[in-house]
Structure 1
């Protein structure tokens, strides 16, 4: 157990200083840095408690009790500012910290007006002054953690849809790693919730120390975040974070786009794709295409969705896949990767995943059985 806390404390503080001293750090870097600091403080406090130092220094009792109320809001803040690329904390963001402020205000009397002996008696259950509050705090932590996990996941899904509706190649702006991290955090929160409900509310006595489980998971999540953070450049390097604005007119109802005009523009779109082949440009996006067709963004998006029943990403990549097939059937001397890059894809991984999505098999297997039309 000591090893788990030691690894967690030093790892959290290491990432805190790493992110805080990063050159040209973004707002998500700052949010993550203070999240790591908070984890480090929480783990340190818990470690001191398990070592019995609260009995020697009772005034430390409960000092970090409301701190887990910050886990959910910090996850949400990190997700929001990762996908929106904000430059500073918004005024509305501070409301998310209100529950932890209320909790600390409620415990103000405990911190400053209870004697050391009284604090020890409360901690040992000999005085029940804060028993109800403790149960309410546990429930609030569980609700907060799970609610913010769900909200963050839904926010990321909506952002993913915006990416697919606006970009033809999304590898550089993919936040799939963040989706996996949210799932991981959600599993940790759920595990902690089950243990706390069973132990503190239902009185279940475990034959082992349940704290070892969820603190091990917390430490593991810190290590994973470090790994994925280093592996994904949008946290630890200075690459630009793409910003996507959601047009309020994106709803197709009452868009003002008449059916005849939409049909005409759809034909123009297909002619453009066939004759000029704009999909060969790897960085093609909805804004560029809308300019070529002299259409507002939301109207072009509506046309593609209604007539092709696809988002912009799938629509463009369908042409790239067919372009690759035509090139590969004629130019056998070139590698698949070279042909894929010439067809508008920007990487091998993107090409393979997109091709399999559209054709159901890998490029090599498809081409092995492909017979060109006479």
Structure 2
């Protein structure tokens, strides 16, 4: 019975390592390989015990290897921004698995792409959850953990993308559209919230962005003329 439990522990550790690596995220791959090293060290320990070759030097080496992996992962967690650590801690005991969160985010992104609910300036989390037949709590959790954003920032990401496209279209069509009109057409309720959100997401004001679009287009036109 003892051997069976140990075998199950080894299998569980290796399964966790494979599951982490299977997410195909660069940051998670580091944790996956670290946990794989931890699992291999764990296996080597019991292999040495079974073969009767466990001596203090090997014991210390295996323990050191496992400890380095554990402490490094803990150190990486400490280095996360406070808001990310709080998000992880908040949903630590959630009933949603990572796979379920990824599926929810995929559905959400597709809904935003195909139906553009973000154009509604009064869009609420509960409205979006209802349209997807989800609970508001689960939807909020998926956005917070998988996008590392709160609901408003996530929605504004789509609105800013729409605004950027409108700015480009206006320039190409020689239309001098006011920023307020672009803001309202993108789903913002007023110019101030649009300016703040745009600068937060892009690092520059929409007017400066429009100016840069014009300069970039002029360079392309000059290159095309020269050719």
Ranked by relative contact order (alpha carbons within 8 Å, sequence separation 6 or more), the top structure is 1
Root-mean-square deviation (CA, aligned residues, Å) is 2.1
Listed as ranges, the matches of 1:116-127 within 5 Å are none
Which one has a larger percent helix, Structure 1 or Structure 2?
2
Is the Cα–Cα contact under 8 Å of residues 279 and 316 in structure 1 kept in the other structure? yes
Listed as ranges, the matches of 1:1-374 within 5 Å are 251-331=90-170, 332-370=175-213, 371=216
TM-score by length of 2: 0.52
Residues 320-371 of structure 1 show CA distances to partners (whole Å, capped at 9, x for unaligned) of 1110110111123321110110100001111111111111111110111125
Give distance in 1, aligned partners of 2:165 and 2:157: 13
Q: What secondary structure, in the 3-state scheme, does the structure 2 residue paired with 1:369 have?
A: helix
Range 341-350 or range 324-333, more displaced: 324-333
Aligned to 2:52: none
Give distance in 2, aligned partners of 1:261 and 1:359: 30
TM-score by length of 1: 0.32
Task: Identify unmatched segments of 5+ residues in structure 2.
Answer: 1-82, 84-88, 221-227
Q: CA deviation at 1:289?
A: 1.0
Task: Identify unmatched segments of 5+ residues in structure 1.
Answer: 1-160, 162-249
Give distance in 2, aligned partners of 1:251 and 1:294: 23
Aligned to 1:214: none
Give distance in 1, aligned partners of 2:189 and 2:203: 20
Give distance in 1, aligned partners of 2:97 and 2:210: 42
Residues 67-117 of structure 1 show CA distances to partners (whole Å, capped at 9, x for unaligned) of xxxxxxxxxxxxxxxxxxxxxxxxxxxxxxxxxxxxxxxxxxxxxxxxxxx
Deviating above 6 A after TM superposition, structure 1's stretches of 4 or more consecutive aligned residues are none
Give distance in 1, aligned partners of 2:188 and 2:144: 22
Give distance in 2, aligned partners of 1:293 and 1:262: 14
How many equivalent residue pairs?
125
